[in-house]
Structure formats: C-alpha cells, structure tokens
C-alpha cells in the first residue's frame, strides 16, 4: 500500500462548534465536507515507511534499542493528548486536548520540555476534544518555533468550527497533511510507529470514533497501543485483522474509558501490563465506566488515570518501563476514584513511581515515598535485573547444561479442562532438573511467543531430579508448584514456544509444541 496520501480539503456549508466528545459522533449541522485524495509524488516530502505486521521488526527499528522512548499522557481533562519523544529526540503529538482550552495546556507542557517544534502531529479523529488545540499548536510552532513536520489524519471530517480552524491553520502555514490508513508507518526514527486502523474502506458506516487512527509504538520488547476513541467495531476489526500480534505492554483505554470500549475480548488479545485512562475527574459521561474498571481489575492490570495521577510519563529502554506521575494515587482499577483530583494544567513535577519489567510481571517501587526525582524526556530507566530484549534464542529442544545442573521440560499442558479462563491453574509447564547438582533459578525467566514473561522468585532452587510445575493462574508458591499470576491463558492451544533465559538474559532452553 502506498500508505500516506496528500489531502486536498474543500469545506462546504456552515461549520458550527462541536461541544465535545460523547457516545455519538453526529454533528449538529448536516453540512457536507468534500475530501479528494491524490497519491503523494513530491520527492521533497518524506515518503511512507514500509509497513510491518505488529510484532515484526521494522527496518527502521534496531533490534538492539539504544536510548529511551518516552510517552507522556497529558492531563487535559475530558479530552486526550499524548506526546511521544523518540530515542533520537524526534517528537510526535497525538491529539491536543479539548477545544475549550484551545491548546494552552498542551503548549505549556511542550514549552516546559523545551520542545521547539513537532516532527509529527497526529489526529486520531476529528472530535473537538481531540483536536481542540491543533490550530493553536500549528500556529505557535509555525510562527514562534521550528514548525510542524507533517500532519496525519484518518480523513473523516467534521462540521465543527474547531475542525475548520484546524484545516485553516494547515492551509495558512502550508503544512503537509497526509490521509493515513492501516498499513502506514510514521517514520519516527528508531521506533516502529505503525498505523493499524482505520482500514482503507472505513468500517461502521464511516463513524468517526470507530474509524479512529490507531497507533502502535514498539521499541525493543516494549509496545504501546493508542486506539483513539475506537469502540466495539474498531476493536473487533483490530482483533480480526491482527490477532495475537496486538499484544502490548501498555494500552490506552479507548474512548476515555467508555463502556463501549476496552472490551473483554480486546483486553484478552492485547494482554497489557499497564492501562492508561484519559478523562476528567467529574466526567459528564461517567468516564471511566465502572464496567471497564471491572474488566481491568479482573485481569489485574495496573491502571493510571490522568484525573488522579495528573500527567503520566512512561519511559522505556526497550526492556523495562519507568512510570512517572504528578501525584500518588491508586493503580488498582476499582480504587481509581479514591484518588484526589489533579487539576488539568497543574505544573507539579513528575516523579518516578515504579519500574515495570516488560519481560516479566514483577514491579519494583522506585522509592517508598513514591519517588523524588523529576524525570526528563531523555532519561533512561534503570532495570539491572531485567533480561535484555536483544538476545533471541535459537530454536532447539535440547536441554542446556549450566554450572549447577540441567533444565528440561517434562510436560506442557496447554489445554486446561473446561473453560480455560476459569481453570487457569490446569494450564501449566513442568520443569525438571535432570543434572547432578542443584539448580538455582533465581531471576530466570519463562516466555511464550507473544512475550508474556514469568520470572522465577529469588532463592528458588531445583534439586537434582526434582520437578516444579509452573501454573498460569494464581496460588501460593511452594517447592513443587509456582504460579504465574496471569488473569488469562498464556499457552496457545494451537501451538506455541517455551523460551527460558537465565538471570543474565542468556538463552537456556527453547521448546516448541
């Protein structure tokens, strides 16, 4: 697919203000907007990057990531704005908050980080709580900064004044605008920035929410999914189109935590370790919906909410995530509303709270007081106990000897009896020490093909001839039984691969079934 297409936009009719984002995308006035598309041929304009399937490595993404990818979820109230700072310093802004703020919160934040231009401005969709600051952002950087590299838009228009001003700013400052579809890739250096939706032929009768531009960012073993306001139809399209390749470390809850998004099936497919919700503390739409919080809680997904955590920054070196927030607040989904509200535009500094291994399920508090350092967009998280993401085991079913013993797989029981989600502990892998000496498994990891990872507890030793069963579900660890703690099945019944690495990340064992 040629991918990005230059938009020529002609606005026809009366354009009225859109008051905000709700469950409907119907504008107040049925005025028409005409969009014509042409194939981009101008050689002076950045060309589209080759598309890859989620989970694949792009030619623009190093397998050994160097530097830090930093993603900021801004507290803009009942709206959305996400800043991405790549490992080479390139910047991408995805949405710009609500129209009532006119970009001031976003611009203040960017100025605090000394950002003087944007390489990429991405529009998830045309609702005024997502493009509310676009015109102001474009004008500011084109007149007082180093400009906007290009704008990316899914191509479904709106009849709001906010949208008109956005288009006027693009025209006034001659900013390149690309119509963007599934299969395109935004050329953020050293990061795989894939567009997964909308498809070439829009779904759901062209509904704006359902045709949100969905972005997946991958850096090393870390990945993040930004689904805009996609709801049931968008999530179904993504699951059908990409399947298990949708697995990510971090998921932004769709449509601000609306009940119609972040569904059970979508959560099971994406299987995130962290969820981020962007909405107002006193959202008039009841965001986040209790049903969504319940679904997140059932899967034990650590959840951050801009309304109570304030601005949220996730930094990754490719193998671990450092989470920084403005405020200390609950991360258990059902307890989110116990946190105190943080006013949008609050300038309190970010403080590191937690380091999360994206190759394991263990989280490490940065400090008992919630941390005291103020992160910058270029800091690299420290994760000395995390296996590196660069070592790829070679396929072999032969047990590997170590100084202390030899680890082998005695049994893989991937098909739990009955409903797997309700019987997770009947899905298990049995490991055996076939050597002559005790085998210290402290910090060793077990991975599947989708990068779900379990880390053996510190001090766990397997005696010669002894076996230990690693169950998928939850329970109390013992010398013979360990528990992954997953809220969903791990091992694919249709076939999968068991990878084992030692505490230094060295491949020890690989077995396919």
Containing 104, the helix (H) or strand (E) segment is helix 104-112
Q: Residue 90: in which H helix or E strand, if any?
A: none
- What DSSP string describes 434-493? -SSS-EE-TT-EEE-TT--EEEPPTT-EE-TT-EEEEESS-----SSEEE---SS--S-T
Q: How many residues does the chain have?
A: 513
- 126 touches 170 (CB < 8 A): no
Instruction: Identify any residues that bridge with 453 across adjacent strands, giving them in sequence order.
Output: 447
Burial class of residue 153 in the structure, from the number of CB atoms within 10 Å of its CB (0-12 exposed, 13-18 middle, 19+ buried): buried
First-to-last C-alpha distance (Å) of the chain = 35
What CATH fold (topology level) applies to the domain 407-512?
A: Immunoglobulin-like (2.60.40)
Determine how β-strand 33-39 pairs with β-strand 69-73.
Answer: unpaired
Looking at residue 501, its pLDDT comes to 86
DSSP letter at 132?
A: T
Q: What is the CATH number of domain 69-363?
A: 3.60.15.10
- Which tens digit of pLDDT belongs to each residue from 106-132? 999 999 999 999 999 999 999 999 999
Q: What is the pTM of this model?
A: 0.66
pLDDT value of residue 4: 42
Distance (Å) of CA 441 to CA 212, 312, 429, 502: 45, 35, 15, 7
Cα distance between residue 47 and residue 279, in whole Å? 35
Identify the segments of the chain with pLDDT beneath 70: 1-64, 358-405, 451
Phi, psi of 234 (to 5 degrees): -65, -45
Query: What is the pLDDT, as a whole number, of residue 359?
Result: 54
Q: Both tokens of residue 320? A: 């671990």
What ranges do the domains of the chain cover? 69-363, 407-512
Closest CA to 354 of 320, 379, 380, 388: 320
Q: How far apart are CA 256 and CA 248, in angstroms?
A: 18
Structure confidence at residue 63 (pLDDT): 52
Angstrom distance (rounded) from CA 487 to CA 276: 18
Tell whether omega for the bond before 95 is within 30 degrees of 0, i.e. cis: no
The neighbour count for residue 282, using CB atoms within 10 Å, is 10
């Amino acid at each position: 697919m040629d991918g990005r297409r230059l938009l020529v936009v002609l606005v026809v009719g009366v354009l009225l203000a859109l008051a905000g984002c709700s469950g409907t995308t119907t504008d107040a006035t049925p005025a028409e907007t005409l969009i014509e598309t042409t194939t981009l041929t101008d050689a002076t304009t950045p060309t589209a990057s080759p598309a890859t399937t989620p989970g694949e490595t792009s030619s623009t993404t190093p397998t050994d990531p160097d530097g830090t990818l930093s993603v900021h979820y801004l507290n803009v109230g009942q709206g959305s704005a996400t800043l991405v700072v790549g490992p080479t310093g390139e910047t991408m802004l995805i949405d710009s908050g609500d129209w009532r703020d006119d970009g001031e919160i976003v611009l203040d934040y960017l100025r605090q980080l000394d950002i003087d231009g944007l390489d990429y401005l991405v529009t998830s969709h045309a609702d005024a709580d997502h493009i509310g600051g676009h015109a102001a952002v474009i004008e500011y950087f084109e007149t007082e900064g180093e400009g906007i590299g290009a704008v990316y838009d899914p191509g479904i228009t709106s009849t709001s004044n906010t949208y008109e001003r956005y288009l006027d700013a693009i025209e006034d400052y001659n900013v390149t605008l690309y119509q963007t579809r599934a299969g395109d890739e935004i050329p953020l250096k050293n990061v795989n920035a894939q567009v997964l939706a909308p498809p070439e032929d829009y779904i759901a009768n062209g509904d704006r929410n359902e045709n949100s531009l969905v972005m997946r960012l991958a850096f090393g073993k870390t990945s993040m999914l930004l689904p805009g306001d996609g709801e049931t139809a968008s999530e179904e399209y993504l699951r059908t189109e990409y399947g298990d390749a949708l697995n990510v470390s971090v998921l932004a809850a769709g449509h601000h935590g609306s009940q119609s998004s972040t569904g059970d099936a979508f959560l099971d497919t994406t299987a995130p370790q962290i969820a981020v919700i962007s909405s107002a503390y006193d959202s008039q739409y009841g965001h986040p919906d209790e049903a969504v919080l319940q679904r997140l809680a059932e899967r034990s997904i650590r959840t951050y909410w801009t309304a109570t955590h304030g601005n949220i920054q996730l930094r990754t070196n490719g193998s671990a995530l450092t989470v920084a927030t403005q405020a200390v607040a609950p991360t258990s989904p059902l307890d989110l509303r116990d946190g105190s509200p943080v006013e949008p535009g609050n300038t309190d500094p970010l403080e590191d709270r937690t380091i999360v291994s994206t190759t394991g399920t263990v989280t490490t508090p940065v400090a008992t007081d919630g941390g005291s350092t103020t992160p910058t967009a270029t800091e690299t998280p420290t994760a000395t106990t995390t296996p590196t993401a660069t070592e790829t085991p070679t396929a072999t079913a032969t047990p590997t000897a170590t100084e202390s013993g030899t680890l082998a797989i005695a049994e893989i029981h991937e098909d739990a009896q009955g409903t797997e989600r309700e019987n997770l502990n009947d899905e298990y892998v049995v490991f055996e020490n076939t050597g002559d000496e005790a085998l210290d498994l402290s910090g060793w990891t077990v991975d599947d093909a989708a990068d779900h990872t379990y880390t053996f507890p510190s001090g766990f030793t397997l005696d010669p001839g002894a076996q230990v069963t690693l169950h998928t579900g939850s329970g109390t660890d013992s010398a013979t039984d360990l528990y992954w703690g997953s809220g969903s099945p791990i091992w694919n019944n249709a076939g999968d691969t068991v990878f084992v690495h030692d505490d230094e990340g060295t491949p020890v064992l690989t077995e396919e079934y």
